[in-house]
Amino acid sequence: MAQLHDLTALEQGEAVRAGRISPVELTEHYLERIDRLDAAVGAFVTVTPELARKQAADAESEAAAARREGRPLSPLHGVPVPVKDLNFVAGVRCTLGSAALADHVPAVDDHVVTRLRAAGTVLLGKTNTPEFGLPAHTENDVAPPARTPWDLTRSAGGSSGGAGAAVAAGLAPLAHASDGGGSVRIPASVCGLFGIKPSRGRVSSGPALHDVTGLSTSGTLARTVADAAALLDVLAGTEPGDPYSAPPLPPGETFADHARRAPRPLRVVRLTGTPVPGVKVHPDCLAAADEAAALLGGLGHEVEELSLPDDPTLAEAFARVWEVLAAVQPVPAGREELLTPLTRHLRERGRAVGGPEFARAMYALRKLTQLVADGLQAPGTGYDVLLTPTLAQPPLPVGALRDDADPAAEFAALIPFLPFTPLFNATGQPAVSVPLHWNAAGLPIGIQLAGRYGDEATLISLSAQLESAKPWAGRRPSMW
């Protein structure tokens, strides 16, 4: 018999609007699962049962009133959506994954949380993240490590590892996430989920911790393309003071609409090699990309290959910017010693980066942005979508990427794991990870699709077409 967590988020929302499911019943179901299963997967830093129950009761009252009055509601009204612990929820502890901020309780909501409240969603809690979201694992000093439910000895990735673990384990129907170098797409790949990193400026990062570099953005993780698109509809939009803004959809259109719309025949370019010289890609990840290319060709899309020139500029420039971002993270006076060795290492290096060096690194990223944009738009030879493996390795064991004894080596080891994802943070393009492949060991292996700036709609339509051709949502880990 199907259980509540077997339903997609959109199915849950429709049932709430119709009165077949109570938001209170739905919330209690997930709180029970979190209480029973979260110790195994490390999905949550903070669970908020009292707030969740109040929001669920309010959502139930509002749904009943809307039915009486014939008013529409958000497609996700009454649906539980956890928030990553890098984002502020007023009155709820936000550690940013750091022991130095273990007791930090913000007084304001981030704009994404304001939008989630307005959509009538229910906050189950704050999902696990590494300190300040800096590495590609979710192993910090405030919570147990986040693990992929497909193999509990392996990491759920990072930095949205808690969000990925929560959705893949059925502890939430979908989740807010964020991505500064791959942090939505990495957990999507290793947890067998669909994840969207939107275009730069699609989602407001304010009001408290704007990323002025433009690398980071909030995104979505879900089991289905339609669910992820519906959550992007909730999160999308700019606010006064935002440093970037993406072009809006045409009036009356939604991203969820595009999940129900077949794409036109597209020109897809599979990138051979990696954007970082010398990185070897695991055969399982290459097989996933091969399989995706064949499937795309069979669906009527034109698939070509394009080799990337060897250029260390991206990795070097990205590292400088990442170090500066680490250095400017707010740490209370006298609590620096509570930071992880990696964070202290990056902050020390970031403080040594001068203004001209930082500007040169940003110029290098913008130069790359223009190069890729020109290739996408070139008359007669331009392409619509880029295809790569999401990662260069299958899911790694817990602890494989954290190295407190040698934080410089830990940072250096991140790029060989994720050489493909930072490219699209640098360019600001939208990118998704699609769970088309599982290897012989039963581990999920994602493929990455990236599109033109501002064109999440095409990626969503194409991903939904792939999902229809090779469904994945019914494939679930044993702990489901």
pLDDT over 90 (residue 106): yes
131-135, 380-384, 386-390, 417-421: least confidently modelled range:
380-384
DSSP category for residue 180: S
pLDDT tens digit sequence for 133-170: 999 999 999 999 999 999 999 999 999 999 999 999 99
Cβ pair 150, 441 in contact under 8 A: no
pLDDT over 80 (residue 297): yes
Q: Is 61 a catalytic residue?
A: no
pLDDT over 70 (residue 1): no
pLDDT over 90 (residue 73): yes
- How much is the pLDDT for 352? 97
Strands (DSSP E) found in 73-173:
83-84, 125-127
pLDDT over 70 (residue 440): yes
Distance, CA of 109 to CA of 64 (rounded, Å):
27
332-349 mean pLDDT: 97
Distance, CA of 137 to CA of 340 (rounded, Å):
13
pLDDT over 70 (residue 476): yes
- How much is the pLDDT for 374? 79
Point out the catalytic residue in the list 159, 205, 216, 461: 159
pLDDT over 70 (residue 331): yes
How many C-beta atoms lie closer than 10 Å to residue 397's C-beta? 11
196-202 mean pLDDT: 97
- How much is the pLDDT for 212? 85
93-108 mean pLDDT: 98
What percent of the chain shows pLDDT beyond 90? 91
- How much is the pLDDT for 329? 94
- How much is the pLDDT for 311? 75
pLDDT over 70 (residue 449): yes
82-92 mean pLDDT: 98
Q: Is 183 a catalytic residue?
A: yes
- How much is the pLDDT for 242? 92
Q: What is the mean pLDDT of the chain?
A: 96
Point out the catalytic residue in the list 155, 160, 183, 433: 183
Distance, CA of 141 to CA of 100 (rounded, Å):
9
Question: Within its chain, how far is the Cα of 373 from the centroid?
Answer: 23
DSSP category for residue 6: G
Strands (DSSP E) found in 240-324:
267-272, 302-307
169-183 mean pLDDT: 98
pLDDT over 80 (residue 377): no
38-67 mean pLDDT: 98
- How much is the pLDDT for 23? 98
Point out the catalytic residue in the list 84, 155, 160, 178: 84
Strands (DSSP E) found in 151-288:
174-179, 194-197, 217-222, 267-272
Beta bridge partners of 447: 389, 434
